[in-house]
Structure 1
Amino acid sequence: MDNKEQKNNRSNLGKIFHIYAKTVKIIAKNILYLVFGQGVLMLFAYFLLLPLVNKILDLTLRLTGYSYITVGNIGRFLIHPATILMLFILFIIIGIFLTLDILFLLTFFALTEREQKLKVSVLVKLTIYRLFYCLKKGKGKALLITWLLSIVSSIPFLAFSIWRFRIFQYYMEEIPGSYLRLAAVIAAAGLLLFLYYIGPYYYHSLLSQKNGILMVKEKDILPRERIDLLLAIIGWNVLVAGFLFLIYVFTMGVTALLVSGYTNIIQATATFIEVYDRMSIYLALIIFVFSITSNMALISYTFRRHRKHKINGHEEAEDFFKTAYPYKKIIYFLIIALFSINFYYFYQVVRNGSALDYMNMENIQVTSHRGYSHSVPENTLSAVNKAIVEQADYVEVDVRVTKDGELVLLHDPSLKRTTGFNKYIWEVPFAKVRELDAGSWFGSEFAGTPIPTLRELFELAKGQVKINLDLKYRNDSEGLAEKVVALIKEYDMQKQCVITSTSIHCLKQVKKEDAVIRTGYITYGIYPSICKNKAIDFFSMKSNLVTKNIVDEAHKNGKEVHVWTVNIRNEIQRLKRLGVDNIITDNPAYVREVLQKDDSDKFLTTLLKVIKD
């Protein structure tokens, strides 16, 4: 490369960085107005647009007959006539909102460059007028350009969403890598062609008309200018992505620092995961707003740098609003109605987490932990009987194998805590286990309470209460899964029992013996690929690790979420709002009381449930 080429490259690079510097200045000039304006639009999107989109999607699922979408059925779902119609409606609704946002930004930056003091009334009038004008002039093409501009401007947001959110990860894990690479190449080529041939100046050109004549035409934009703009946009998005990544790292670092004060590592981990899930949603919104705002600022500056034509509409906007004055009562009414609806959704989201997610909680089932361990020695027949009296939906017990192969109810691997006998259960024959006192440690009134067998449990509970059998799997040689399933079959209790375990291998053995028996995987977290495992019918998780994303992911794949061990009112109410299916507790009577008394907005929730179903 000769010196002349090097100088030209340095000169071009200098021009690009000069454009970036000017763009940053434009953004900073009236930044408070910019933040407020974008904030209002995003609140509108969050509290009005998003609920509407969710309702349309729910309606689409009902019309197409699908309860949830998987990789296996998404093809049939997308070609269904109802889906096509609803997607077209969403294309229009979301497209109009995105057009409003883009025109607000273009108008804002045009006024900022030209005027020292920004007038809010002029900004609002011009934005609304230009929205109607562009949709009328551009028709369907305007919405298509809006979508393409939004995608180009939101690449950092799209990358973050694919990387962070489980729903995208789930589908990407299921689609062959070659298909994904091909789709990525086609998408990149399409966006580059859009930037080069159609260009991001579409709305500037549309708004620069004077007396019906376009002042800026596509053929007027030189190839070199197109390439410069293309390179500037690519480089700008790389810088924006880097800046946003630093914000993300900083946010997560501060979160990790704050939870590091917990002495309990599990509690610290749970808190971090909960905050991480919530912060990711807010960060995604921030990334979207920052990405589209910064890209529109760059496009606006480069247009005015090469084209001195003003984008018109000042006089037309005034005329447009003058004709609306006779209808000001109607306009005032619509504004009040919108604010009222907005406030309602805000109230529902803040109070309940989500208006529709609050609905299915009448069906929450309650499991009594280790029998009824709140007031009776755990894993004893007395505890199970107490759970039956208190009308628990399920009773949860732990199952282990003695040295001679008997199935008994015991949580710990050692007998020491509940009986004082310092031996592992697999080291002791059942005859010795039967002699031990499993009640005195809890209270003198329970002295002499024995460790029961699984057969004794079935004799007591058959037809009385559903049973959650937590199999404490050690190895295949004990034959734990096979023995438990055989006993369940002997008592014909396949529909009355569910089996849980921390071992997926154990659950697979259960399904191999009898596929009818429902199985639950005890875990501290779920991920998309495990949701498809046929050996798992539901997940059993520590309550403070459960988030809305986890519940949604499980339900999307047809799995339930059971949570343990919950004894506090606030946690019960939180889990109710999240939409879990089963609460495991030491005190089922108390949980039932909290669930039944928390019936605020009962008429509204019942109505929404009918709509949802």
Structure 2
Amino acid sequence: MKTLFAHRGMSSLAPENTLSAFSIVKSHGIGWIECDVDVLADGTVVVSHDDTLDRCTDKTGSLYALNQSDLTTIDAGSWFGDEFSGEPLPTFEQLIELVNEHQLNINVEIKSCAAGWPMTLKLIDGVIKGLEQLSPTSELLVSCFNHLALAEFKRKQPHVDVACLFEAEDFGHDWLSSAQSCSASAIHLNDLSVDKETVARIKAAGYRVNVYTVNDFARANQLFNWGVDGIFTDIGHEFPSRYRQY
């Protein structure tokens, strides 16, 4: 099975990491979503790629200075299009409800919390609490660039599959040690760092390989022919039907 992950939801059709972006995934034949999660000052886990509001909302400032009550004042959609005006910055709890409703599978990327280890632990615990509500019929994968944080999550949730994320410049000879330290089942690679030999080496070691972010059909085809298991894409709705599950 070749898997398409809707990167931050259908992020070319709706504002990334919003309920609107995730709610239309299944209607386009995609079974998996990818989301990013970080934490507010009061421990509320929210769905956001950045640790600031600046790029994808009508506000500015750090997530780590906010509480859940502040979310009602934030517009996370009007920057993308008029029809998304008033779109909320979602909590992880709200996203899990949507995932259950739409019977989706989910890759949760735990962000490398810039507020330090105590806040990272608060984020991990919040993610675990949110995942307790996930339907047992949904497939789940948890990933992180911070392999210390990923190992801590895996220690607390040994039954959950995890994936080590690597930036292109960080994938080196020690990747296997990182994967083993996290008891990972998959490796997530930047497209810029992927060649046929790398895929073969990782697969031979017994790991799944997923690649981000691929928005070119020919490149996706090449990666799948090399043995890549999945790709993260912003344009899943444009892919041929052979890649789509519904």
TM-score where L is the length of structure 1 = 0.37
Other-structure match for 1:504: 147
Partner amino acid for 2:8? R
Other-structure match for 2:51: 413
**How many angstroms does 1:495 deviate by?**
5.5
Other-structure match for 1:389: 27
Aligned counterparts, 1:264-283, within 5 A: none
The equivalent position to 1:440 in structure 2, one of 63, 78, 81, is 78
SS in 2 for 1:516: coil
Other-structure match for 1:470: 109
Larger Rg: 1
Q: Contact 1:494–1:517 (CA<8 Å) still a contact in 2? A: no
Deviations along 1:268-313, one digit per CA (max 9) or x if unpaired, are xxxxxxxxxxxxxxxxxxxxxxxxxxxxxxxxxxxxxxxxxxxxxx
Q: Contact 1:532–1:557 (CA<8 Å) still a contact in 2? A: no
**1:573 corresponds to 2:221:** yes
Q: Contact 1:551–1:561 (CA<8 Å) still a contact in 2? A: yes
Give the Cα–Cα distance (whole angstroms) in 2 for the partners of residues 458 and 521 of structure 1: 22
Distance 1:494 1:526, change over 3 A: farther
**How many angstroms does 1:494 deviate by?**
8.9
The equivalent position to 2:209 in structure 1, one of 561, 565, 574, is 561
The equivalent position to 1:543 in structure 2, one of 177, 188, 191, is 191
Give the Cα–Cα distance (whole angstroms) in 2 for the partners of residues 545 and 583 of structure 1: 14
Other-structure match for 1:398: 36
**1:513 corresponds to 2:156:** yes
**How many angstroms does 1:589 deviate by?**
2.2
Q: How many residue pairs were aligned?
A: 234
SS in 2 for 1:418: coil
SS in 1 for 2:5: strand
Distance 1:436 1:413, change over 3 A: same
Partner amino acid for 1:395? I
**1:488 corresponds to 2:131:** yes
Other-structure match for 2:90: 452
Aligned counterparts, 1:318-357, within 5 A: none
Give the Cα–Cα distance (whole angstroms) in 2 for the partners of residues 510 and 428 of structure 1: 24
Deviations along 1:552-586, one digit per CA (max 9) or x if unpaired, are 11111111111111111221122122110011000
Give the Cα–Cα distance (whole angstroms) in 2 for the partners of residues 558 and 492 of structure 1: 28
More strand by share: 2
Give the Cα–Cα distance (whole angstroms) in 1 for the partners of residues 136 and 150 of structure 2: 17
Aligned counterparts, 1:358-397, within 5 A: 363-397=1-35
**How many angstroms does 1:484 deviate by?**
0.7
Distance 1:508 1:589, change over 3 A: same
SS in 1 for 2:90: coil
Deviations along 1:403-448, one digit per CA (max 9) or x if unpaired, are 2111111111110111131101111222112321111000011111
Q: Contact 2:162–2:184 (CA<8 Å) still a contact in 1? A: yes
SS in 1 for 2:56: helix
Deviations along 1:62-85, one digit per CA (max 9) or x if unpaired, are xxxxxxxxxxxxxxxxxxxxxxxx
**How many angstroms does 1:464 deviate by?**
0.9
Give the Cα–Cα distance (whole angstroms) in 2 for the partners of residues 369 and 406 of structure 1: 22
Other-structure match for 1:584: 232
Aligned counterparts, 1:292-303, within 5 A: none
TM-score where L is the length of structure 2 = 0.88
Aligned counterparts, 1:48-87, within 5 A: none
Q: Contact 2:36–2:109 (CA<8 Å) still a contact in 1? A: yes
Greater shift in the superposed pair: 533-542 or 423-432: 533-542
Q: Contact 2:151–2:183 (CA<8 Å) still a contact in 1? A: yes
Give the Cα–Cα distance (whole angstroms) in 2 for the partners of residues 465 and 491 of structure 1: 10
Q: Percent identity?
A: 27
Q: Contact 2:141–2:161 (CA<8 Å) still a contact in 1? A: yes
Partner amino acid for 2:214? V
SS in 2 for 1:417: coil
Distance 1:473 1:530, change over 3 A: closer
Q: Contact 1:434–1:450 (CA<8 Å) still a contact in 2? A: yes
Unmatched segments (≥5 aa) in structure 1: 1-362, 597-613
SS in 1 for 2:43: coil
Q: Contact 1:569–1:594 (CA<8 Å) still a contact in 2? A: no
SS in 2 for 1:451: coil
Give the Cα–Cα distance (whole angstroms) in 2 for the partners of residues 470 and 434 of structure 1: 24
Other-structure match for 1:118: none
- What RMSD over aligned residues (CA atoms) do the two structures have, in Å? 1.9
Q: Contact 1:400–1:409 (CA<8 Å) still a contact in 2? A: yes
Other-structure match for 1:23: none
Give the Cα–Cα distance (whole angstroms) in 2 for the partners of residues 576 and 399 of structure 1: 28
